[in-house]
Structure 1
Amino acid sequence: MTTHHTSKYENSLKNRKLVPIEQGMEIANRYSGTYNVVTISRITGPLTEEIVRKALDLVQSRHPRLNSRIVGELDSLRFETEETQTIPLRVLQERQLNDIVLEQINSGFDSSKGLVRFVFLPPEKDAQTSYLIGTIHHAITDGLSSIQLHSEILTYCQKIASRDPLNPGTSLKPLPLLYDLVPASMKGLRGMLSIMLFVWHLRFKKLWYRPETLSFEKCVPLDSRHCGWIRRQLDETLTQQIVNRCKQEKTTVQTAICAAMMFAVGKKIAMGNERDVRVSCHSYVDLRRRLSPVVHPENLGVLVSAAISFHTLKPRTSFWNLARDVRKQLESQLNNSDIFVPFLILKTMIELILKDCDRAPATVALTNVGRVNIPSIYGDFKLEEISYLAGLATVGGVLTAAVTTFEGKMTLNFMFSEPSISGETAEILVDSLISCLIESSKGDCAWQNPDTPKSTDELAEIAK
């Protein structure tokens, strides 16, 4: 009897209505074809299409949401697990990685068929390096769980290649409704009051600070926008230098990157004029450890929220003082239940962005999973690099970064909506903030000091 009830309950979680945050992601997918999470793995070893295909079949049998599709009209969206297609796998030879990633982040899903797809870029000739690019609908994943999924796929690849007995393991149980996992203070009448107070307070801060954003270089309809991508990787020495400096300055890598982004964009906004610039930063936060019960990264789901900080850049604002101010504001939000509000109202936030799509919602935004805690060795296969990004063509005028640190190296993927920000402008902004990070890792710098960019050779070395 208990088994019967459990099975019935689990089936009700597999096939159910989308909660608002999931609805918001599907609305964005239908209107703008973006909000996908793309994860890129660089692998050495004798990986083949056949091995990858078998591994994808195994993970699909284990994860309920990889067996899901989204059906219904916008006011009645549902997950269904019947008639979902096998995970598509495309094998592309003699294609540039950059072109493949851009194609993936700018291609939406026909959600009625499935919510995930993969591309395999096999080794060239006698080389041993291949790429696995996974694209997952943001309604069922976030950066952390998509990275964990790649590790699971490589674990299966190892077993398949070594001819070990194949057992996909026990199928994961579907997560409870996401809103059942938030604190009691965010539920019912008390939760509604908390949300109203948060929204009122946020509106007051926006009116008080009036944060500036990048001007749109060109305004076009949503269906004419596409997401640009710039990648930078810092070597182990520089990454460790930044980490050590952050500890010395009593702040974090997350807030240091936020500060560098605001410095770079603030200089562009000021256009050489010595004046104050008011800015805002959206820092995306993993909620898994803050939910009850705690959710493991192997469980696919969109379990993120946003902490929003406001700052004024004055002509001699210190880099590290700004980073510490970001940390202070983030910790204040993380230490109370307010951090759950953006998670609860994200559908409304996305609808507002779509409605007022020619206005940037923030100056900069950052998502950082920090040090990636997965193995690098899988039998004959070695995971050399892994990083992620999201398709954000909808969100014009905002420079966004997705950051991972793996095997001691920091990878920064920058996303921006073109043509509101041109590729040329984005390259200048990225070079400026990387220079700022390098300079600050050795000491301190002020916001409106003359730019001292690294040489072309140095930046080219970083960009490898």
Structure 2
Amino acid sequence: MRRKLAFLEGTLYAGGVIANNVVTTVTIRGIFSRESLNKALDKVQRRHPLLNVHIEHGDDGTPYFVQNTIKKDIDVRVVDRSGDEDWKDEFVKECLISFDAVNSLLLRIVWIKGNDFSDLIFVGHHCICDGRSILNLVHETLHVLGDPEMDIGTYNQFSAILDFVPTYVKRNRANRMIAKCLPVLTKIALRFASFKKEISRNSPYFIHWKLSVEESKAIFEQCKVRGLSIHAFFCAVFLRAFGDVEGRKRQLKLFCSIDMRRFIKEVKNDMLFAFPAMVPLHLNKNPSRNVWQQAEVLKTTLSRRIEKLSVYDTLAFSEGLTTLIPQITEYAKKDKGTHAFTFSNMGLVQLADQYNGLIVENLYSPASIFALGNPSTLSITCFKAQIDFMFTSDENFLPHASAQAFQTRALEIIRTSL
């Protein structure tokens, strides 16, 4: 396989010099060997074509996924486990260490090894996977670790992103005109932005917390009764909390990360994929509305905007911007964005409580510490009936003290709304 990175993959790759990783941690009770872990990872690697590639650059600098002619093993770094908090230091470390994508694979594992408990940290380059992908890799690895004879199959990697785009979209005259003009207009806009100063991103942090089983259950029940999604409820909660803490300084706007798999039938949930669609949501402060009423408004707005998403058009238009990725990357180093944070809700995680004697004690939501644009990101998952939150940012965008106040205020809103 030799496939040019699509535009969205290329922007996430960002020239290969910036750490842009998706990281998640799972805590396991039970004993397994290094050999059995290696064998499980080998099966997972053979299933996913993008786990056996490196990146090469063409004469014009264009990056390509290239299949390794000699198979390389997924790297596993072993660390002695001294306590339940060890994963936190390793999480930050792995978020900030970039991949040597030219010489190495785009997935690595950290095994924090204890006597009865272990933490496995999965680290994937964002150009090959999103949060759902990395969670699926956790599930597959544990599945094979618990049942070494299991056959998890394989699939073929697509040859180009335009393979997904219907012919009528590519041949549409208006679409062809937009695809031709968009790179020119973008290039002009980037020239105006080139005078901005690069923003320092040298003080990253994360805040992690969970709701209790009782609180999580109450939220699910209230949303069901009111006909609301968990997604809309948390959008309202966190926009309102952010407004209470930072409202005078910042616009009350977030970007919802939408999984494109729902629009592209060829891409299944258990395939590696890294194409997020971003949908903006604003919160208009209205003292007469409670958080549930605001959630209702956001639900309607979000549904309408998702219905209007032209995914195939976006894929077709964006490919013309591939040559501008270096300039776009430089612009992103200087841009704070117009939003408060990005919100990624991965919902109920399809992870078993145990895998043939290996008991999953804990799962921490996948997250990244971005080195481009606005690094403030809130990720949510639900596992074992508990809703889990991971917020990442940088002092130069949002002070840690403000983020803690944001978290505290969000919890107050949640608890007073139940």
Q: TM-score, normalising length from structure 1? A: 0.76
Per-residue CA distance 1:167-187 (angstroms, 9 max, x = gap) = 655432113533322456653
The partner residue of 1:172 within 148, 155, 161 is 155
Name 2:10's counterpart in structure 1: 23
Per-residue CA distance 1:358-407 (angstroms, 9 max, x = gap) = 423412221111111232221011223323112223233x6321111112
Is 1:111–2:94 an aligned residue pair? no
Distance in 2, matches of 1:361 and 1:414, equals 18
Q: Secondary structure at the match of 2:97?
A: coil
Residues 375-384 or 346-355, more deviating: 346-355
Q: Secondary structure at the match of 1:369?
A: strand
Distance in 2, matches of 1:62 and 1:226, equals 37
Name 1:149's counterpart in structure 2: 137
Distance in 2, matches of 1:174 and 1:27, equals 22
The amino acid that maps onto 1:129 is F
Distance in 1, matches of 2:410 and 2:280, equals 20
Is 1:289–2:274 an aligned residue pair? no
Distance in 1, matches of 2:35 and 2:72, equals 18
Against the structure 1 CA distance between its residues 428 and 419, is the aligned structure 2 distance closer, same or farther, given a 3 Å change threshold? same
The amino acid that maps onto 2:140 is E
The amino acid that maps onto 1:230 is I
Distance in 1, matches of 2:241 and 2:71, equals 45
Report deviation, 1:46.
1.1
| Aligned CA-pair RMSD | 3.0
Name 2:371's counterpart in structure 1: 393
Distance in 2, matches of 1:18 and 1:424, equals 39
Name 1:59's counterpart in structure 2: 44
Distance in 2, matches of 1:122 and 1:220, equals 43
Against the structure 1 CA distance between its residues 241 and 187, is the aligned structure 2 distance closer, same or farther, given a 3 Å change threshold? farther
Distance in 2, matches of 1:350 and 1:372, equals 35
Against the structure 1 CA distance between its residues 438 and 49, is the aligned structure 2 distance closer, same or farther, given a 3 Å change threshold? farther
Is 1:355–2:327 an aligned residue pair? no
Q: Secondary structure at the match of 1:391?
A: coil
Distance in 2, matches of 1:252 and 1:198, equals 36
The partner residue of 2:26 within 29, 35, 41 is 41
Against the structure 1 CA distance between its residues 192 and 405, is the aligned structure 2 distance closer, same or farther, given a 3 Å change threshold? farther
Distance in 1, matches of 2:178 and 2:302, equals 18
Distance in 1, matches of 2:177 and 2:395, equals 38
Against the structure 1 CA distance between its residues 230 and 298, is the aligned structure 2 distance closer, same or farther, given a 3 Å change threshold? same
Distance in 1, matches of 2:223 and 2:179, equals 33
Name 2:65's counterpart in structure 1: 79
The amino acid that maps onto 1:228 is Y
Conserved? CA contact 2:45–2:52, under 8 Å: yes
Report deviation, 1:150.
0.8
Is 1:121–2:106 an aligned residue pair? no
Against the structure 1 CA distance between its residues 64 and 260, is the aligned structure 2 distance closer, same or farther, given a 3 Å change threshold? same
Distance in 1, matches of 2:182 and 2:297, equals 20
Distance in 2, matches of 1:318 and 1:187, equals 45
The amino acid that maps onto 2:95 is I
Against the structure 1 CA distance between its residues 376 and 340, is the aligned structure 2 distance closer, same or farther, given a 3 Å change threshold? farther
Distance in 2, matches of 1:155 and 1:305, equals 30
Per-residue CA distance 1:257-311 (angstroms, 9 max, x = gap) = 111111121122345x9xxx85222111112131133x22221111321111233
Name 1:309's counterpart in structure 2: 281
Distance in 2, matches of 1:220 and 1:232, equals 34
Name 2:209's counterpart in structure 1: 232
Against the structure 1 CA distance between its residues 298 and 195, is the aligned structure 2 distance closer, same or farther, given a 3 Å change threshold? same
Report deviation, 1:131.
0.9
Per-residue CA distance 1:401-423 (angstroms, 9 max, x = gap) = 11111121111111112332222
Q: Secondary structure at the match of 1:355?
A: helix
Distance in 1, matches of 2:25 and 2:306, equals 29
The partner residue of 1:327 within 299, 306, 321 is 299
Is 1:432–2:409 an aligned residue pair? yes
- What stretches of structure 1 of length at least 5 have no aligned partner? 1-13, 161-165, 200-218, 443-464
Conserved? CA contact 2:237–2:291, under 8 Å: yes
Conserved? CA contact 2:342–2:376, under 8 Å: yes
Conserved? CA contact 1:234–1:411, under 8 Å: yes
Q: Secondary structure at the match of 1:432?
A: helix
Is 1:369–2:339 an aligned residue pair? no
Q: Secondary structure at the match of 1:283?
A: strand
Against the structure 1 CA distance between its residues 350 and 58, is the aligned structure 2 distance closer, same or farther, given a 3 Å change threshold? same
Distance in 2, matches of 1:414 and 1:253, equals 17
How many percent identity over aligned positions?
21
Distance in 2, matches of 1:424 and 1:409, equals 26
Per-residue CA distance 1:13-56 (angstroms, 9 max, x = gap) = x32111111111111652xx232111211111113333222211
Against the structure 1 CA distance between its residues 248 and 303, is the aligned structure 2 distance closer, same or farther, given a 3 Å change threshold? same
